[in-house]
Amino acid sequence: MKIDRLSLFTFPRRLRFPLPWILAPVFFAFLTLQIHALDEEIVIGRENGWGRVRYDHTMQEHRGFQGYSDILLSDAAYEPDDATDLLLHFDSPSPEPSLLVSSADTTGRIRWENPARYSLNPANIEAENRLRVFGSGAALFSGKESRLNLSAGPGSLFFPGTDWRDFTFEFWLYPAETESVQQLLFWEGVTLPGEWGTTSRTQNIRCTMGSNRLIWQFTNLFRPPMQQEFSLELKGQRELLPRQWHHHMVRFSAETGLLEYLIDGIMEDFAYANSENRETGVVFTPLTGSASRRDLSIGTGLEGVMDELRISSVFRSNIPPAPYQDRQGTAIIGPLDLEHAASRLVSVKSSFSTPGDSDIFFYYALNQTPFAMAIDDAGWIPFTPGGIFSPETRGRYLHLMAALYPDGMEQYSPVLSDISVVYTPDLPPSPPGKVTALPQDGGVHLSWESVPDPDVQGYKIYYGTSPGRYFGNDAAEGSSPVDAGNTTEMTLTGLTNGRLYYFTVVAYDNSPRPFQTLFSMEVSARPRRLSSDSGGGM
C-alpha cells in the first residue's frame, strides 16, 4: 500500500493562511523535496489480506477487527489416527450446505467427497461459528426435527457383523437446556440366530439427556457366554447446567471389561462387562449384529451445540486437550520487495494482542535475494515492532517472521491483525549522460559520463539497426546488450561498414539480480573506412 503523499500536507484549519508571495517559491521547493523523500509503506493484513504467508501451526480466522482475517495459533482439535473410526470437526462445508463437518480426514475414514467408512444422509442442522471449542465451527441442533444421520460402511464399527474390542465415544456439548429428554446418540442392531444364542436379539446404544444428566445405555451389545440378554447403564452424577461446554466420554477396555463414563476427564459412573462385574472375570466383547441397520443417529431432538465428535477403536486417554495444548506456531511473511538493493528499512509496526500471558516474538531478515527463508535459518534477527531501525539497515528483500506462543494454561492464543513496513526506497541512478558514438572501420567507439552513484557496478551497451530496437548481434563483443564493465568507454568491433547502428547505454547496480537504469539518450553511427586508407572510399 502506498501512502497518499499529498494528504500528508493538508494543513489543520487554524494553520491555513495565504503565503506571502516572496515565500511561495521557497515553500514549493521544500514541498517538492519532501514528496521525493517520503517513505513508502506496505501493509499486510486487514483489508489487504495476508497474501503468500507460510504457516506452521498457525491459521487465519475471519473473526478479527471489522471482520478482517487475523492470524492465530491452530487449536488442539483432534487429528485422525489409525484408531479413528469417525471424526466430525464440524468446520468445513459438506455436501449438505447447512452442515459443517470434517472433510480433511487424512485416513480416508470420513471424507465426504469420497466416503469410505461412513456416508452422510440428509441432515437438518446448522453451522455455528461463534460457539465452538476447536476449529472454526460447531454443529447447531435446534429441536425435534434436528438430527445428523450417518450410514456405516465396510470397516466401520457399526457395519453389520463387526466384532469390536476397545472403543471410545466422545464429544463436546453445549446444551441450551438440560431438563427435557433429548437424544444425543442412537444406534439399533439385530443379531441373527447363531451369532448370540439360538434366537435373534435386538441391540441398541443410546445416549440421552434429561433431568440435567446424561445417561448411556448399552442393550445386548456385549455378549455373555451364557447367551442371556445383557445390558449396562451409566449415569452422570453431576447436574449439567445449560449453556456450558463439557467434554463427554464413554470408553471400554476389552482387557478388563471396564466401561466408564467421564465428564471433563473425571469419572462419573462405571460398570464391568464381564462375568464378575469387577476387574476380573471373563470379558463380554461387543458385536454389531449381522441384521443390524447401518444408521447412526446424532442429536435427535437436541437443542444446543456439539463439537468434535469422535468414535475410536481404542481406549482413549481421559484427559481432553486444552484449546492450545502443546501449541506454538510461526507465520513467515515475504519476501517483500523494497524495490532497490540499498533501500532503507525504517520501521515495522504491528497490531496484535496477547491475552493472558500469551506472546508473539518478531524477527526480520533483509538481504539481496528473493529466496524463501526457513524457520530455523540463522539469519533471523529479533526486533520489537514500532521501533526505528538504524540507517544502515538496508537491502532489497525483506523477510518477516512472527512466532506465536499460548498462555501458560494453554487456553488463549495471541492474535496478529496486521503488519506494516515503512521503508525509504533507494532511488535508481540516473542514466549515463553525454553519450557519443565515433565511427571506425568495422566498428564504433562509444563513450559516456560516469553516473555518480555508489550503487553503480558497471554499464551495458545496447545496439541495433533500427531506432529504439536494440537487438543487434553482429558485434565481435557479443549480442546486445554488451557488458562494458565499470568503465566509461568501449569500442564495438566486427560491425558492417556502411550500415547505420543505433546505441544507448545503461548503468546497473551490484544486486544479485542487477537493477538497470533507464536508457540513455540514443546515438547513432555508421562504420566506414577512414579517408586515409589506401583504397579510398568504402
Give 114's pLDDT tier (boundaries 50, 70, 90).
Answer: very low
Map grid coordinates 486487514 to a residue: 46
What mean pLDDT do residues 290-311 have?
92
Rg (CA), the chain: 37
Closest CA to 305 of 134, 158, 97: 134
Give 4's pLDDT tier (boundaries 50, 70, 90).
Answer: very low
Q: What is the DSSP string of 101-123?
A: E----TTSSS-TTS-SSEEEPP-
- Say yes or no to pLDDT of 38 above 80: no
- Say yes or no to pLDDT of 42 above 70: yes
| Higher per-residue confidence, 154 vs 262 | 262
C-alpha separations of 405 from 298, 322, 415 in Å: 36, 14, 10
- Say yes or no to pLDDT of 208 above 60: yes
Three-state secondary structure string covering 318-377: CCCCCCCCCCCEEEEEEEEECCCCCCEEEEEEEEEECCCCCEEEEEEEEECCCCCCCCCC
The pair phi, psi for residue 433, each rounded to 5°, is -110, 170
Encode pLDDT of 458-497 as tens digits: 999 999 999 999 999 999 999 999 999 999 999 999 999 9
What mean pLDDT do residues 144-157 have?
86
Tell me the range of 51-55, 233-237, 320-324 where mean pLDDT is highest: 233-237
Sheet holding 397-405, edge to edge: 53-56, 329-337, 397-405, 359-367, 381-383
pLDDT of residue 115: 39
Can you tell me the distance from the alpha carbon of 490 to that of 462, in angstroms, rounded to the nearest whole number?
A: 12
pLDDT of residue 243: 95
pTM summary value:
0.66
pLDDT of residue 123: 66
C-alpha separations of 67 from 3, 47, 84, 151, 198 in Å: 23, 9, 35, 37, 64
* Bond into 481 cis (ω within 30): yes
Q: State which amino acid sits at residue 37.
A: A
pLDDT of residue 137: 84
pLDDT of residue 65: 61
Q: State which amino acid sits at residue 457.
A: Q
Q: What is the mean pLDDT of the chain?
A: 84
Can you tell me the distance from the alpha carbon of 416 to that of 460, in angstroms, rounded to the nearest whole number?
A: 46
Which of 93-97, 219-223, 374-378 is predicted least confidently? 93-97
- Say yes or no to pLDDT of 327 above 50: yes
- Residues 344/393, Cβ–Cβ less than 8 Å: yes
Residue 525: burial class (beta carbons within 10 Å; 0-12, 13-18, 19+): buried
| Higher per-residue confidence, 94 vs 221 | 221
| Higher per-residue confidence, 15 vs 440 | 440
| Higher per-residue confidence, 298 vs 65 | 298
- Residues 281/116, Cβ–Cβ less than 8 Å: no
- Using the Cα atoms of residue 125, residue 132, residue 234 and residue 317 in order, give the sign of their dihedral: positive
Encode pLDDT of 425-466 as tens digits: 877 778 999 999 999 999 999 999 999 888 788 999 999 999
CA dihedral of 369, 372, 373, 379, whole degrees rounded to 10: 10
Share of the chain above pLDDT 90, in %: 58
CA dihedral of 407, 412, 418, 419, whole degrees rounded to 10: 10
Q: Is 211 left (phi over 0), alpha (psi -120 to 50) or beta?
A: left
